[in-house]
A and B are shown apart, each in its own frame.
Chain A
Amino acid sequence: GAVVSQHPSWVICKSGTSVKIECRSLDFQATTMFWYRQFPKQSLMLMATSNEGSKATYEQGVEKDKFLINHASLTLSTLTVTSAHPEDSSFYICSARDRSRSAGETGELFFGEGSRLTVL
């Protein structure tokens, strides 16, 4: 099946530093990738939609200047948490749709393994 890889799987950083998380579709092309955040014992909340070659679309309440998203190619999207603070500690998960498998928007979404960020 389609594989989505995230890196790093976990990261610990000091408050005020920036952290970059990569999301790659390994065996398919994804024009659109999605970034989710999950706090402990809560479900996933969509942060933003990443579109290849254009600006990301952010959900209400998500600071676009804090969570920088770049989708430079059909297989890679990056999420950079800038000036991270302890409240940004969370589990970040990306997902992508295999455009070759789906017609329109009816395709199955595949998820990465997630990246756990801990900000001290």
Chain B
Amino acid sequence: KQEVTQIPAALSVPEGENLVLNCSFTDSAIYNLQWFRQDPGKGLTSLLLIQSSQREQTSGRLNASLDKSSGRSTLYIAASQPGDSATYLCAAPRAGNMLTFGGGTRLMVKP
């Protein structure tokens, strides 16, 4: 059974800081890991998808890394902005492409 944990559960930083969100998973036999953003009352926006053969993916100010052997992934946000305030979720698949989500990290970036 796949279990996904995210640390910290909440994070508040001043604008401009670089920050790291952590995600750990128990079953390392994954074929990809996906990071999402969720704004309050909204659906999910896919940020980055890392295949099991990759170690990292970058999109703009976001960089996600994947270390399958240790069961960890990190999402790095550079030069944070107030518009980055949201809940960030990581999700690892189990058989059949069904995703198991972590509890999320609620990020607030203060101007």
Contact = CB atoms under 8 A, between A and B. Distances in A.
Interface of A: 6, 32, 34, 42-46, 49, 57, 91, 93, 95, 97, 105-114, 116
Contact of A93 (B43, B49, B93, B100): B43
B43 A97 contact: no
B58 interface: no
Interface SS, A side:
strand
A113 B42 CA distance: 6
Given A44-B99, A114-B42, 14 more contacts: A32-B97, A44-B89, A45-B101, A46-B98, A49-B98, A93-B44, A95-B44, A105-B31, A105-B93, A108-B49, A110-B46, A111-B36, A111-B45, A112-B43
Given A46-B98, A49-B98, A106 B51 contact: yes
Given A106-B31, A106-B32, A111-B36, A116 B41 contact: yes
Interface size class of B (residues with CB under 8 A): 20 to 34
B46 A108 contact: yes
A111 B101 CA distance: 13
Nearest to B36: A111
Contacts of B98: 34, 46, 49
Nearest to A48: B98
A103 B6 CA distance: 28
